[in-house]
């Protein structure tokens, strides 16, 4: 069976170091490979989608939800190459919380590329955070 390299992280030296902010500038992949596109996961817990009142708890639960989806595809956080974050009433405190939680799951060893979009509200009342992802596995 022919093997293909794992995605390659590239953080050009001409750009700022994104690692303190929980992401990498770019990732390249070789095909053939499997790609998994993960729809926006909120901080809702379980089938009832129970939402905690605080931002950190919702971020933690959203990451658990992403992990659940990844595991169903035999994938891991390290397979994620791109995320999009939606943060209600975004501010520096929420960015710090996100960065702390991102570093717990990615451990700064393989941070995905990222786009953060501040929003005024999300799909359901009480939702404070949402993350979608693209994962690739050869």
The model's pLDDT over 84-134, given as tens digits with 9 standing for 90+, comes to: 999 999 999 999 999 999 999 998 778 899 999 999 999 999 999 999 999
Cα 71 from Cα 82, distance rounded (Å): 17
pLDDT at 1 over 50: no
pLDDT on residue 13: 83
* Full-model pTM: 0.84
pLDDT at 3 over 90: no
The mean pLDDT value for 56-81 works out to: 94
Percent of the chain whose pLDDT exceeds 90: 64
Cα 130 from Cα 87, distance rounded (Å): 7
pLDDT on residue 22: 87
Closest-CA residue to 33 (of 10, 69, 3): 3
Decide which of 78 and 16 is more confident.
78
Cβ atoms within 10 A of the Cβ of 106, count?
Answer: 20
């Amino acid at each position: 069976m022919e093997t293909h390299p794992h995605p390659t992280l590239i953080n050009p030296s001409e750009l700022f170091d994104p690692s303190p902010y929980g992401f990498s500038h770019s990732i390249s992949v070789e095909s053939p490979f499997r790609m998994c596109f993960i729809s926006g996961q909120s901080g809702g817990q379980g089938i009832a989608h129970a939402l905690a009142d605080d931002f950190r708890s919702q971020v933690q639960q959203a990451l658990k939800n992403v992990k659940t989806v990844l595991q169903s595809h035999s994938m891991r956080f390290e397979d994620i190459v791109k995320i999009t974050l939606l943060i209600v009433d975004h501010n520096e405190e929420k960015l710090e919380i996100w960065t702390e939680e991102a570093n717990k799951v990615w451990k700064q060893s393989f941070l995905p590329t990222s786009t953060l979009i501040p929003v005024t509200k999300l799909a359901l009342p009480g939702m404070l955070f949402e993350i979608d992802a693209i994962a690739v596995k050869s």
